[in-house]
Amino acid sequence: MAADARWPRVRELFHACQALAPGERDAWLERECAGDTALLDEVRDLLGAQAISGDLLAADASELIGLLRAAPAQALEGQRIGAYRLLRLLGEGGMGRVFLADRELAGREADGFEQRVALKLVRGDFVDAETRVRFLRERELLARLSHPHIAQLHDGGVAADGSPFFTLEYVEGEPITRWCDARRLGVRARLGLVLQVCAAVAHAHRNLIVHRDLKPSNILVTADGEAKLLDFGIAKLLDAAPGAGDTRTHARLMTPEYAAPEQILGGAVTTATDVYAIGVLLYELLAGRTPYARAEAGLVGWPEAVLHEVPEPMTRALARLPVRAGAGDGDTLAERRGTSVAALRRTLRGDLERIVRRALAKEPEARHPSVAALADDVRAWLDGRAIGGGSRRYRVRKFVARHWLPLGAAAAILGVIVAGAAAVAWQARETEREARTTLAVKDFLYGLFTAVDPRAAKGRDVSARELLDRGAARVQRDTALEPGQRAEIDATLGRIYYQLALYEQAKGLQEGASRLLAADPSRALLAARTDAERAETLAALGDVPAAKTLADDAIRRFEAAPDASVADRVNAWRIRARTAVDAREFVDAARFIDKALAHVDDPAIGDDLRLLVMMSAGNASWGEQKNGEAEQRYRTALAIASRNAGPDDLNVAFSQTSLGLALYAQSRYADAIEADSLALATYRKVLGEEHPTTLNAVRNIGLSNYQLGHYATSRELLERVASVQRARLGADHPALAGTDINIGLVTTDLGDFARAEAALAEAVSIFGKKFGRTHQGTRAALGNLAIVHELEGQLELADAELTEIMQAEADPKLNELNGYTTLYRLGDVKRRRGDFATALELQRRALADSIRHVGEHARYTALAHEYLGLTLRDSGNVAGAERELRAALASFAGYLPGAEHPLAATARLDLGELLERDPTHRAEAVELITEAAREREKFLGATHPATVAAHAALAKAQGATRG
């Protein structure tokens, strides 16, 4: 009797045994089973499990049979499941087992290629029909989850024995608590990771999936600080209810320390269940303990504590004696958070305590209404804002705390009075001088803007540029101004010119201010501040080396001055990080921005500077390909900018542009276009069509259109940007070189090799002269130029160019993360030159690196599969080529709806022509080539040479089929 059909009889016998005395059961069962030893053994197994675990197990007895009777996991290690080889067991849960597995294709093992995945397997021999359906349903749900902080579903299928399986991204990381402790992360950094977790859980909730087992071991953090949420299919999701209304909760579904009261009681599991678990996680990350002291000490059971105990305040938990191995005392806990016990208590007291207490409420409706609301409270704490649910008095108190400087002015005056007569006399002299300077600046600005008065303007509309030019000329004529007054006015005008992107004018004024201030030691701080701003102007002009030197000097002066403000230091670190990003030195950028982030919540840091710091932090993360972290930082910047923002707010637009950058890096091109388009509308209204920031948004939209295959639209936008950049910034500006690279990409794919070569050669020249041959921009331009040379048949030249880049990228000081593009491009040149062995070695390395850095579902991974497939084809490995070309299409489909794109069309055409060789696959070949021709016609036009070639291939395939 099959296992599924046998289950009703097993259940009937099991329940009948409950009415018998234990001594009577064996004889009765033997009679009822009538020689069916398998049936007898299954009921006995179930009764034995009940004796150990109690009646609660009886509810899912069929699953227990499979669990108890399944083969040992070790016996499965080394077996092949589809295209995967099981390496070792990672974990078990319910009916599912999770193995580390290699995806191996023909010919790969000898060359050491491997793609590591986590493979979840259900034992088909011992799973009833309902469980199998639930498993497949969960696999379908997982396919809908696409988030940078959720382990990504890769593949699925059925093993030879009928067992369903699926594979997910294998995450190499540590549990979030251990990762934070090992790096002595402070409270702010820990909360940043929690926000990543909240974003992942909220995404799942939007897809009607509740995790139900959030705990540190299910949240791994990778070496680059990316949190990854697991067990949306590994071990626990198999046990999810088959319907959204199912309220059953079984003991094996929960980890008691993180289970919500409704889970303990078997009540309805909702999104509030995950809110509770995040509350426990927050408590443990912040205080290093669990919320229930008596349960942690073993005085009561966890279910009782969760249902009836009041969570101990985190500040009090720090004094709790450690009972868990490695927990440590209060001093140890504080040290693991990079602080002291007293400082940690001060941090946890107040709003953080309230946030955690609300999340841990016994009643679901008393918790935060959603994970997003919990995350909003965490962000509010990070921003120094009032959290949700507070009283009016509380919000007033928060306002006073955030604006303590002006509200405390009276106390500061009293401090001056009691400082002594000598100090007062000195201060009076300084105050008089500062007052004269301040009044001079105010009078100057008033005179500057009297031009807006119709009588002074003589009926004309006066532009900001005209006002500034008039003011700068007036400063030069005014001989009554003291040097300090002139310097401050010059610095102010320079700052305004910079905001209007009139960088040359800003530079001249800032240089004048710096010269005047250098002669007055009493204005050393203003001099350092002006030089920091001048460094940012130089960076905007493309003189990045000089900008780095000047910013470094300003930082040294601020750090040496005991009276330098926190805001001055933070801004200097931010500017230095900006210069590092411009130089593509992202490790340096992260080093400086981390210094700024350590002080970003200081009350002396206003929202304007805090916004700039978060945007620079996002840029540094983006440069290091920590795209999820970059997105989170940009969203934080957007939240800061949106606070009290009016219509057409530039800071909101800047944040939207930055967010688009992170979305683009995650292959979310349509979302990137949406973010950039919102920003562009503001830029056009406020800054005008030709402002560099406006042009940057247009270029970003052009790039996203290119990635989506809209080449004509992309080229039109990019050519327009380049034309304005050349006129406004000059023919040797790095911004123009960056746009040249983009134009080179799109014109190469359009087949206009002459325009591509001209644009890319110009980019190589600009970047090379500015930064040298090994600079990231130079290498990017040269690599794309090599593609053009390859397509033109200049294989020896392309080989030399790509080899030069590969050798440069081997230098660890460059911290090159995109080296896989060079590897697969050089591999393709080697293929065309007949060096298949070298080509295969390079392309397998490229594929492994691409998967590791950007995942399976990304443009670069799809191209790596494609290039490897072509080399396998040309070297005679037809089966391997087919697998790689199919993998390329799967990668395209992972980020492009329907895998519709000119590059995907090429992969379809290559696969179709390969399958055409086999008469048994000719029907599929015709279908693939037909689709390729249709896509090329859609994206490139009917007369494009690539479209014509696809139609010719289709005619050939159709002829072979008819023949």
- 10-27 pLDDT per residue, tens: 766 766 676 566 666 777
Helix %, strand %, coil % of the chain (to 5): 70, 5, 25
Rounded distance between C-alpha atoms, residue 391 and residue 387, angstroms: 10
Structural tokens at position 194: 């929690």
Which of the two residues, 925 and 143, has the higher pLDDT score?
A: 925
Nearest to 113 by CA among 829, 868, 836, 879: 868
- The conformation of residue 150, written as its DSSP 8-state character, comes to B
Rounded distance between C-alpha atoms, residue 933 and residue 958, angstroms: 13
Structural tokens at position 751: 């087949």
Nearest to 81 by CA among 169, 161, 162, 159: 159
Min mean pLDDT across 178-182, 323-327, 451-455 is at 451-455
- For residue 644, what pLDDT is reported? 67
Min mean pLDDT across 162-171, 251-260, 646-655 is at 251-260
- For residue 301, what pLDDT is reported? 83
Min mean pLDDT across 470-474, 553-557, 788-792, 959-963 is at 470-474
- For residue 106, what pLDDT is reported? 45
Q: Dmax over Cα atoms in the chain, in whole Å? A: 117
- For residue 463, what pLDDT is reported? 56
pLDDT over 90 at 640, yes or no: no
* 316-321-327 Cα angle (round to 5): 100
- For residue 74, what pLDDT is reported? 56
Nearest to 386 by CA among 374, 399, 368: 399
Q: What is the pTM of this model?
A: 0.51
Given the residues 60, 213, 383, 849, the one annotated as active site: 213
Annotated ligand binding at 362? The verdict is no
Strongest mean pLDDT among 206-210, 465-469, 527-531: 527-531
Cα–Cα distances in angstroms (integers) from residue 640 to residues 212, 371, 925, in the given order: 32, 20, 54
pLDDT over 50 at 694, yes or no: yes
Give the mean pLDDT of the chain: 80
- For residue 43, what pLDDT is reported? 74
Give burial (CB, 10 Å; 0-12/13-18/19+) of 99: buried
If pLDDT is split at 50, 70 and 90, which confidence band does 795 have? very high
Which of the two residues, 3 and 36, has the higher pLDDT score?
A: 36
pLDDT over 70 at 768, yes or no: yes
The mean per-residue pLDDT over the stretch 37-42 comes to 73
Amino acid identity for residue 536 in this structure: E
Strongest mean pLDDT among 185-199, 324-338, 600-614, 948-962: 185-199
- For residue 46, what pLDDT is reported? 63
Dihedral (CA of 648, 649, 650, 655) sign: negative
pLDDT over 80 at 963, yes or no: no
pLDDT over 80 at 394, yes or no: no
pLDDT over 70 at 107, yes or no: no
885 and 865 Cβ atoms separated by less than 8 Å: yes
What is 174-385's CATH superfamily? Transferase(Phosphotransferase) domain 1 (1.10.510.10)
- For residue 841, what pLDDT is reported? 96
Min mean pLDDT across 201-205, 240-244, 773-777, 916-920 is at 240-244
pLDDT over 50 at 642, yes or no: yes
Q: Tally Cβ neighbours within 10 Å of residue 819.
A: 19
CATH, domain 709-817, list 3.30.420.140, 3.40.1010.10, 2.40.110.10, 1.25.40.10: 1.25.40.10
Q: Which residues of 587-597 are buried (b: 16+ CB within 10 A; e: fewer)?
A: ebbbebbebbb
pLDDT over 50 at 826, yes or no: yes
- Give domain limits for the chain: 3-69, 76-169, 174-385, 709-817
If pLDDT is split at 50, 70 and 90, which confidence band does 67 have? very low
- For residue 464, what pLDDT is reported? 57
Dihedral (CA of 637, 224, 337, 352) sign: positive
- For residue 412, what pLDDT is reported? 39
Dihedral (CA of 13, 18, 22, 23) sign: negative
Amino acid identity for residue 348 in this structure: L
- The conformation of residue 666, written as its DSSP 8-state character, comes to T
Q: Using alpha carbons only, how large is the chain's radius of gyration in Å?
A: 33
Percentage of the chain with pLDDT > 90? 39
Q: Does domain 76-169 have CATH number 1.10.3720.10?
A: no
pLDDT over 60 at 402, yes or no: no
For residue 213, indicate whether it is catalytic.
Answer: yes
- For residue 684, what pLDDT is reported? 93
Tens digits of residue pLDDT in 355-387: 999 999 999 988 998 898 899 899 888 877 778
